[in-house]
Amino acid sequence: MRESVERIRKERASPTSPRLILRRVLVLAEGRQYREASAVISKLGSVGLVSLASELPLDLLVEGLPHSAQLLETLFSKLVATGQRPNLNAEPVLWQLVRLFALHEDPGLKSKLGRLAQVLLEFQPEFFRVLSSRRKTLEQAVQGLGCHGLTQTASGLTHLHAALKSELQRHIETYKAVLHRLDELGLCTNDTKKPVDASHQRLLSLHHNEVQQRLIDNKTILTLMDKPALQQLKPLIEMLMERVQNDKEALFCVSQLKRMHSVVEDRPVAQLLMCFSRACSSVLELMQLPESPCHSDGYHSEPETDADREKDAVGRFASLYYQSRPRALESLDDLPDLTHANQLKSKILFSVVVLAFRTCRHLKDTKLRETFRNLHIDVRNSSANLLRSTITKCFATTFDTFPLSEIETQIRNLVCDTLQEYKCLDSCEGLRRYVAEVSRTVWFLINQDPPFELETNFTIPTKFRPDLHLKHHSSDRTSDNVKCYLWPALIQSGNCVHKAVVVTDGG
């Protein structure tokens, strides 16, 4: 203990280099002298701050929460104040806040972490959308767990499996009766019907009694097959599919929570999900941002500032990476042909985003040209610019209902045609859902004013750029050689508003 105190006392001397500054902050943090470490950071200039933030082992400070809250708050607030965006992944801080609120009932926790949550949002505005989306996912998963009750059938309420069994038995009995009747009528024997009997000339030469007999035979079979009771099987199958999907969503949420915290297996799933859902709500409350209708799937039609619109748009794009991509990746993991093709799966999900921007932009341009042509408006006139702006705004406000099925089909076909050897992709429901979510979000992004674009320079190898790239957790932190792209950067008016996620290695 005495040695630790002595080390801390020595480190209070003013450092002379970035390495000494880092060492001093770490020593103070190890001694739980977070206030003094915070004072060191508060005195740094922009150059020293960026150097410290790039090398600081954030995981160690995250483990020290809530005690290290002041140190982290000072770090992020200084970065925001100086406008610096170094290679610093702040996401672990966000999820540690959620974890703390999920595991502790300390009433003083909000006062300890409130300012940190606000500064964290200023540092990465998309965190509000990410957290809101996670909370919504957890709430929906809890609701799905409760949708396994009794099923309404013609005979009353019963278990779904019992209803399926009764319905299948009814089908089997009906099909047997139909087969028996077909044999009795002799409609399927090989020696009574020849291909020539079904020719067009033969069918037009039938007499009255032959047409009458054909009507009687077909009506007999139809009467056996066309029973209202037999129509209950499809809704029961759809209900079963919905329940399977609900349980998959719930277990997917649990697997995400396991990465954040060790989950007790014998704990009720609903209780676990509700606990973390409430924790997300607590952190969102600390961020002191009203949850506007922009959080929902509909568009916020009430007046809002440009900054709010940008946060909403960037948040939607971030949600694709943090929510939709992991879910789609899990669906691809379930395909036997892609079990060990990790790089291929990442490239598929990456290419969907790139293709969505390309196809949605083409669709937008096509719709605008059609409108100008139908209204006989010269695109060079000033009135064309006003009309273009109005139409684009209309596209943005109706993005959640605009028909994009053709775009989704086109993207899936491009992916499947490129990877024809993987037939399983065409029937992958998770990929289909991912394409739909990406297409809808991209259509929203390209119809903003000014529109959002992708940074399309994916040249490999390339050097890591802190202003454009964010290292994935699997990266070699000491390397600046970009090995591959996991997610593209989002650009607006030439500025990067959401960094590309890349993997670096020492090669």
Is the pLDDT assigned to residue 9 strictly greater than 70? no
**Ranges of H-type helices in 124-207:** 126-145, 160-185, 200-203
The CB density around residue 384, as the number of other CB atoms within 10 Å, is 16
DSSP labels, 268-321: -HHHHHHHHHHHHHHHHHHTT----GGGSSS---S---HHHHHHHHHHHHHHII
In this structure, the answer to whether residues 307 and 179 fall within a common structural domain is no
Question: Considering only 190-194, 272-276, 397-401, which range has the smallest mean pLDDT?
Answer: 190-194
CA 502 distance to own-chain centroid? 18
**In this structure, are residues 504 and 475 in contact, taking their beta carbons and an 8 Å threshold?**
yes
- Output 297 or 343, whichever has higher pLDDT: 343
Q: What pLDDT, on a 0 to 100 scale, did the predictor assign at position 297?
A: 39
347 within some domain: yes
Residues 335 and 437 occupy one common structural domain: yes
Question: What would you report as the CA-atom Rg of the chain, rounded to the nearest whole angstrom?
Answer: 31
Cβ neighbours around 436 below 10 Å, total: 17
- How many Cα atoms are found within 13 Å in the side-chain-facing hemisphere of 170? 17
Q: Residues with Cβ < 8 Å from 479, sequence gap 6 or more?
A: 464, 504, 505, 506, 507
Domain assignment present for residue 163? The answer is yes
Comparing 407 with 254, the larger pLDDT belongs to 407
In a domain, 311, yes or no: yes
Determine which of 97-111, 142-156, 170-184, 328-342 has the lowest per-residue pLDDT on average. 142-156
330: in domain:
yes
Domain boundary pick from 186, 217, 234: 234
More confident residue, 308 or 371: 371
92 domain residue, yes or no: no
Give the mean model confidence (pLDDT) for residues 386-400: 87
Tell me: do 303 and 222 sit in the same domain: no
HEC assignment per residue over 373-437: HHCCCCCCCHHHHHHHHHHHHHHHHCCCCCCCHHHHHHHHHHHHHHCCCCHHHHHCHHHHHHHHH
**Which long-range contacts does 60-66 make (Cβ < 8 Å, 24+ apart)?**
60/26, 60/29, 61/29, 62/92, 62/93, 62/96, 63/96, 64/29, 64/32, 64/34, 65/93, 65/96, 65/97, 65/100, 65/113, 66/100, 66/109, 66/112, 66/113
| Residues 468, 445 contacting (CB under 8 angstroms) | no
Distance CA 491, CA 228 (A): 56
Q: What pLDDT, in 10s, does the model give residues 374-383?
A: 888 877 777 7
What's the pLDDT tens digit per position in 124-135?
877 887 888 888
Shared-domain flag, residues 301 and 450: yes
**pLDDT of 207-266, one tens digit each?**
778 778 878 877 877 777 776 666 677 777 778 888 888 888 888 888 888 877 666 667
Q: Of the candidates 458, 453, 445, which has an alpha carbon nearest to the alpha carbon of residue 492?
A: 453
Domain contains 331: yes
Q: DSSP 3-state assignment of 484?
A: strand
Which of 85, 105, 129 represents a domain boundary (last residue)? Answer: 85
Q: Which of 157-166, 226-235, 254-263, 299-308 is most confident? A: 157-166
**Domain housing 214:** 151-234
Give the span between the Cα atoms of 318 and 311, in whole angstroms: 10
pLDDT number for residue 6 = 56
Domain match, 344 and 438 both? yes
The verdict on 332 and 446 lying in the same domain is: yes
Examine the domain organization and report whether 301 and 449 are in the same domain: yes
* 27 domain residue, yes or no: yes
331: Cα within 13 Å, side-chain hemisphere: 22
Under the banding of pLDDT at 50, 70 and 90, the label for residue 441 is very high
Distances from the Cα of 501 to the Cα of 54, 94, 248, 466, 475, angstroms: 16, 18, 27, 11, 10
Record the tokens describing residue 408, joined without a space.
Answer: 């989704």
Total domain count for the chain?
A: 3
Residues 202 and 348 in one domain: no
